[in-house]
């Protein structure tokens, strides 16, 4: 049986670099999904990382 992989947040999957401290934080700005606390844990994501 295959081992279940952990779920990635959108910025990990898309590799956009817009998370705080990310490669494109300065030029593109921080993505709202990376800091939205109201959706933390929804769909097993961090902040709104699975609700992007």
Residue 4 has pLDDT above 70, yes or no: no
Q: What is the pLDDT of residue 49?
A: 92
Residue 3 has pLDDT above 60, yes or no: no
* Cβ proximity of 7 and 47 under 8 Å: no
Residues 6+ apart with CB under 8 A from 25: 17, 18, 19
Q: What is the pLDDT of residue 29?
A: 97
Q: Does residue 37 or residue 1 have the better pLDDT?
A: 37
Residue 10 has pLDDT above 70, yes or no: yes
Full-model pTM: 0.77
Q: What is the pLDDT of residue 32?
A: 95
């Amino acid at each position: 049986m295959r081992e279940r992989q952990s779920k990635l947040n959108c910025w990990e999957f898309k590799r956009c670099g817009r998370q705080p401290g990310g490669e494109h934080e300065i030029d593109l700005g921080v993505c709202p999904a990376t800091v939205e606390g109201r959706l933390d844990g929804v769909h097993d994501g961090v902040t709104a990382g699975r609700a992007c």
